[in-house]
Amino acid sequence: MELLFVAALVIIAILIVLWFVPIPLWIAAQFTGVRVGLFRLIAMRLRRVPPPRIVNSLIMAQKAGLNITSDELEAHYLAGGSREVVAEQEILRVIPALISASKAGIPLTFERACAIDLAGRNVLEAVRISVTPEVIDCPGPTEKIAGVAMDGIELKARARVTVRANLDRLVGGAWTETVIARVGEGIVTTIGSAQTYKKVMESPDLISREVLAKGLDAGTAFEILSIDIADVDVGENIGARLLQQRAEADLQIAKAKAEERRAMAVAEEQENKALVEGMRARLIEAEARVPLAIAEAFQKGNLGIMDYYRMKNILADTQMRDSIAGLRPRERKE
């Protein structure tokens, strides 16, 4: 039992030493021409840098003819460099990006590639787009941008923008969202400046020329190569709809004004009726005072009995004439 325990301890110790001192990795580096010592590999372990990732990156760079040291790769890894899996080997992403740029004849330094990688951009994807231009659908594969011409007709367009990555502006440059927004704005502006929608339908390349001449790639990480209008459809008549809405609004305003005038007329009629009733009340009040005035005249001696009888005869004669004429007393008074 003691021998088994000692053997197990020895095996565990050997495994720890082999992990801490990656001898197979050192042998592979020596056979591929990468000069890296065992003490450097041990130092990588102490600095918490994975030796396989650095050594594999150095081997790939050595085979591609790139002059990169292990110190530069370690510094980039410790700064937060991204990794890439190539041929089931984990390496730093800047190495395949530099190899692709070197084979394509694109001037890309190690410092620039590290800056792009640390800025959060996929430097390998950027090199690929720089070599092979990419097509961006604006605003999307199925969506369209709507604009209204001067004659009020709505047009819906979809563009395909061919771009190529600009490695010099990749750090700090805007990404595809800004390009799509600028191209959409240019399409809306161009359609809006057209005198009639027929002009745009006859020559859709007018939009491409106008938008491409605006220099929309300024401040972005891309260089716009071409803008092609993939589809243009005629929408609704916005001008006619606006005129209809304006006419309906004017009609509602006219109805409101007419209702206001009608209400004022009704109020004025009610006021006149109230005024007539007031006059009638004053008339009845004045008629009620006549007997009192007659009695007061009798008391003061201003009216005699014969005068009163003559007045009654006149009233009786008047009522007789009204009856002959077919008028009622109320109608005569009115």
Parallel/antiparallel/unpaired status of strands 134-138 and 153-165: antiparallel
**Interatomic CA distance for residues 223 and 155, integer angstroms:** 27
Predicted confidence at residue 334, as pLDDT, reads 46
35, 58 contact by CB (below 8 A) = no
Matching residue, tokens 């007018």:
206
SS3 for 153? strand
Q: What is the pLDDT of residues 268-288, one digit of tens each?
A: 999 999 999 889 888 888 878
List the chain residues with pLDDT less than 50: 330-334
Query: 233 - beta bridge partners?
Result: 156
Neighbouring CB atoms inside 10 A of 291's CB total: 9
**Which 8-state DSSP code applies to residue 150?**
T
Helices (H), the chain: 2-20, 23-31, 38-46, 51-63, 70-78, 94-104, 110-118, 123-131, 176-193, 197-202, 205-212, 238-300, 305-325, 329-333
Which two tokens mark 149?
């011409």
pLDDT, residue 238, reads 87
* Alpha carbon distance 15, 194 (integer Å): 77
Q: Which two tokens stand for residue 221?
A: 């990480």
Radius of gyration from C-alpha coordinates of the chain: 51
Rounded alpha-carbon distances, angstroms, from residue 155 to 58, 168, 195, 251: 56, 37, 13, 30
**Token pair listed for 320:** 């007789």
For each of the domains in the chain, give its residue range(s) and CATH number, in order of start: 1-131 (no CATH), 136-240 (3.30.479.30)
- pLDDT of 99 reads 92
Cβ atoms of residues 94 and 113 within 8 Å: yes
End-to-end CA distance of the chain: 142
Cβ atoms of 222 and 161 closer than 8 Å: no
- Round to whole Å and give the CA distance between 1 and 10: 14
Place of tokens 């085979």: 63
